A and B are shown apart, each in its own frame.
Chain A
Amino acid sequence: MSLLSINNLSVSFQTDRGVVQAVDQVSFDVDAGETLAIVGESGSGKSVTALSILQLLGDAGTISDGQIVFDGQNLLDLPEKDIRNIRGDRIAMIFQEPMSSLNPVLTIGKQVAEPIWLHRKKTWNEALDQAEELIKKVSIPDARQRLDAYPHQFSGGMRQRVMIAMALACEPKLIIADEPTTALDVTVQAQILSLLKNLTTELNSALILITHDLGVVARYADRVAVMYGGRIVESATAAELYKHPKHPYTEGLMASIPTLDGEPGSRLQTIEGQPPDLLHMPAGCAFHPRCPYAAEICKHAKPSLKEVEANHFRACVGYESIS
């Protein structure tokens, strides 16, 4: 049985201009110890999906349908108190902006020790001792002194290390990292991701890595789910997806990666058009206005994920009607 199994999750947001369907009938599984990457451009619903798991959407977002089954329990059925007990303990989250995700007025030590104090019911002193170990683990030198430092004394990369230490504090079974390196320098990105990957492997935790960087996916993910317009359009193992992308959108994404052995002076391939306006989603397949293979049926029929090869899923009616 999977560690986490999301079935037909739908999330909508109430905005001033109307209701936005940010996530539409999304389903996927994550096995224990596995790394799943969720890929997509801004507005594709990947962050909202991640926030839904811990029900951290805020007042505007509502989970309108679906199940989020973690360790055999549907999290959506649990009262707020039980969800709180899971947050930071069995499921931890790392956010995109290390600059603003740490509290500026609390010491690093206190922030890292807090989940231990909370979930393991340790005294602050015991929790701080463990925090020191965690800070050492994420390769921050002078851990003891750093406990008393404040976030503004740290660089972006260091802060993201602190976020990782905080997420690992209670040895969670699942870590959700929402674009953990997007805000960092390219040179630091690889360090942080390797660190995250190594530590999750060490703990045998599952990792959901949300990113728009296909390079990251290739290097760190076991499996990939590609999202477009609030839906998963393709999912497969990372190697398979790279070698044989089967959805027109994924193909477009792959083709738009610059390669070193490309013809000098040749232009980068792009996907024509703009990502869909969430308030005015195209009928049928959300991708059809940009799709080179779009057929008449794509304008009406909403495609659902079908297994096209072993463990390779695709949502595309156009392909099916051709082949």
Chain B
Amino acid sequence: MHTFIIRRILALLPTLIFTSIIVFASIRLIPGDVIDLMLAQNDISTGNDRAVIEAALGLDKPIYMQYFLWVGDILQGDLGRSLWQNTPVTEQLALTLPITFELGALALIVALSVAIPIGIYSAMKQDTMGDYIARSFSLLMLAIPSFWLGTLVMVFPSVWWRWAPPLQYTPFLEDPLANLAHMFVPAVLLGLSLSAVTMRMTRTMMLEVLRQDYIRTARAKGLQENIVVLRHALRNCMIPVVTLIGLQAPLLIGGAVILEQIFVVPGMGSLLLEAVFQRDYPVVTGVFLVVGVAILLINLVVDLTYGFLDPKVRH
């Protein structure tokens, strides 16, 4: 098991290097660069100033040099400084990342606690009214974009009942209840949209597993149907479901970034958007790199979960 973990972590390295190159190159490929924006904002445009600013920001060096310097700094735990505010990127991330991850984690909890029980229920009651309702609901959640639903949740209650979801951010450690009250609506919206696919996968896998011979063996022992499902079927049907959850990690983070905008959550979504508009290269690359690492780590956890779920992987 230990060698399995070490091998999996080593396998992450090439992916990580590749990710860093893409992240570094992509923001620089967007038309319009940071110097133009700075010059336009300060209303000065002589050729001399341009060279001075470029040199000051380190953008005068060849692009591969910039990349190696950037990677060198990262290895020392330094993601650079914002080109505009001159604050360290790590500092900005430390403020915003935990908020986004909190939203993501809450959404994941919502998604799983909706998807798995409903998926199981739907499979056990295959082709009944309850199954149809559950499946229609999941299709609906799959079809409606969460940003649109988010906007509706903002607008309609305020028009009809003069009520709006709380939009005042409070740090969790300061007042957990106020924090959760604010995070609740975006987390539920994001979680529901993610739950759709997971629920359908759980249902399909559960139906498949319930047809297996060992389920008949379990029934022949005299077990109640709920023990048959929870003890004998659930773990067997979780492997593809867990894989799916890993694959949904990018959707989770992407969705969080959008919903943060609607519900005024000061996570890295707003940091990222602003940085992209301002071509603040170190901030953009920093955020993307951290997100990339997070997604890789989530998938590492998924792989390790197989070991827990499937004894064949463990041995």
- Whether B220 and A102, one on each chain, are in contact in the complex, defined by CB atoms closer than 8 angstroms, is no
- Whether A87 and B219, one on each chain, are in contact in the complex, defined by CB atoms closer than 8 angstroms, is yes
- Which residues does chain A contribute within 8 Å of B310, judged by CB atoms? 104-105
Min C-beta distance of A50 to chain B, whole Å: 11
Within 8 Å of chain A (Cβ to Cβ): is B224? yes
Would you mind naming 13 contact pairs between A and B with Cβ atoms under 8 Å apart? Answer: A85-B222, A87-B222, A95-B217, A95-B220, A97-B213, A104-B310, A114-B221, A118-B223, A150-B311, A150-B315, A163-B217, A166-B217, A166-B221
- Which residues does chain B contribute within 8 Å of A100, judged by CB atoms? 212-214
Q: Mark B303-314, 1 if CB is under 8 A from A, else 0.
A: 000000111100
Within 8 Å of chain B (Cβ to Cβ): is A238? no
- Whether A105 and B216, one on each chain, are in contact in the complex, defined by CB atoms closer than 8 angstroms, is no
- Which residues does chain A contribute within 8 Å of B312, judged by CB atoms? 104, 150, 152
Give Cα A219 to B214, complex, Å. Answer: 29
Taking CB atoms and an 8 Å cut-off, the chain A residues in 77-100 that contact chain B are 84-89, 92-93, 95, 97, 100
| Closest A residue by C-beta to B220 | A93
Closest 4 A/B residue pairs (Cβ): A87-B222, A88-B221, A88-B222, A100-B213
Give Cα A95 to B315, complex, Å. Answer: 27
Taking CB atoms and an 8 Å cut-off, the chain A residues in 262-315 that contact chain B are none
- Which residues does chain A contribute within 8 Å of B232, judged by CB atoms? 103, 106
- Which residues does chain A contribute within 8 Å of B220, judged by CB atoms? 54, 56, 87-88, 92-93, 95
Give Cα A153 to B312, complex, Å. Answer: 9
Min C-beta distance of B238 to chain A, whole Å: 9
- Whether A101 and B216, one on each chain, are in contact in the complex, defined by CB atoms closer than 8 angstroms, is yes
Taking CB atoms and an 8 Å cut-off, the chain A residues in 101-129 that contact chain B are 101-106, 114-115, 118-119
- Whether A56 and B221, one on each chain, are in contact in the complex, defined by CB atoms closer than 8 angstroms, is no
Counted as pairs of residues, one from A and one from B, with CB atoms less than 8 Å apart, the total is 70
B222: contacting residue among A101, A102, A104, A115, CB under 8 A: A115
Q: Mark B284-315, 1 if CB is under 8 A from A, else 0.
A: 00000000000000000000000001111001
Min C-beta distance of A159 to chain B, whole Å: 11
- Residues of B with Cβ closer than 8 Å to A? 212-214, 216-224, 231-232, 235-236, 309-312, 315
Min C-beta distance of B99 to chain A, whole Å: 37
- Which residues does chain A contribute within 8 Å of B309, judged by CB atoms? 105
Secondary structure type dominating chain B contacts? helix
Most buried by A among B212, B216, B231, B309: B216
- Whether B222 and A103, one on each chain, are in contact in the complex, defined by CB atoms closer than 8 angstroms, is no
- Whether B214 and A103, one on each chain, are in contact in the complex, defined by CB atoms closer than 8 angstroms, is yes
Give Cα A106 to B218, complex, Å. Answer: 11
Q: Mark A145-189, 1 if CB is under 8 A from B, else 0.
A: 000001011000000000100100000000000000000000000
- Which residues does chain A contribute within 8 Å of B315, judged by CB atoms? 150, 152-153
Min C-beta distance of B148 to chain A, whole Å: 40
- Whether B236 and A118, one on each chain, are in contact in the complex, defined by CB atoms closer than 8 angstroms, is no
| Closest B residue by C-beta to A86 | B222
- Which residues does chain B contribute within 8 Å of A150, judged by CB atoms? 311-312, 315
- Which residues does chain B contribute within 8 Å of A103, judged by CB atoms? 214, 217-218, 232, 236
Give Cα A88 to B236, complex, Å. Answer: 22
A152: contacting residue among B212, B235, B236, B311, CB under 8 A: B311
A56: contacting residue among B216, B235, B236, CB under 8 A: B216
Give Cα A85 to B222, complex, Å. Answer: 6
Min C-beta distance of A254 to chain B, whole Å: 32
Give Cα A237 to B221, complex, Å. Answer: 31
- Whether A115 and B213, one on each chain, are in contact in the complex, defined by CB atoms closer than 8 angstroms, is no
- Whether A102 and B219, one on each chain, are in contact in the complex, defined by CB atoms closer than 8 angstroms, is no
| Closest B residue by C-beta to A90 | B222
- Whether B213 and A101, one on each chain, are in contact in the complex, defined by CB atoms closer than 8 angstroms, is yes
- Which residues does chain B contribute within 8 Å of A163, judged by CB atoms? 217
Taking CB atoms and an 8 Å cut-off, the chain A residues in 29-77 that contact chain B are 54, 56
